Amino acid sequence: MSGRGIFFDEDDARAAAARLVAGGYDAQVVRERLAGEDDDEDHPWAVLSDAPDVVVELLVDEFDGWFDVEPEVGPALPPLDLPTGPRRLKRP
């Protein structure tokens, strides 16, 4: 699941998930917790699915939500080769 549909209306999120399931994909609706939001009623709904991104994007456009893409994490870089001794500021 690389992308997800975000909806502010629970009914829209559930309708989008039902359409994905009817299309043969797995889909689940979860509450999306936004940083800094104190009121639980203001949190949007996220639809997570194994459907191709383009299918989810079409539903997002239809139900007036937005498509959120999770950034892909690349391989970790090797550790830096740092000096072990102190650095001299002046030459002798």
**pLDDT tens column, 17-72:** 999 999 999 999 998 776 555 555 668 899 999 999 999 999 999 999 989 877 66
pLDDT at residue number 3: 73
Tokens of residue 6, six digits = 């975000």
CA distance 49 to 8: 17
The confidence score (pLDDT) of residue 37 equals: 55
Which residues touch 20 (CB under 8 Å, ≥6 apart)?
Answer: 26, 27, 47, 49, 51, 55, 56, 59
Structure token digits, residue 52: 């191709």
Cα gap 2→10, rounded to integer Å? 21
pLDDT tens-digit readout, 1-26? 457 899 989 999 999 999 999 999 99
Query: Taking CA 33 as the corner, what is the angle to CA 76 and CA 51, rounded to the nearest 5 degrees?
Result: 65
On average, the pLDDT of the chain sits at 84
The overall pTM is greater than 0.85: no
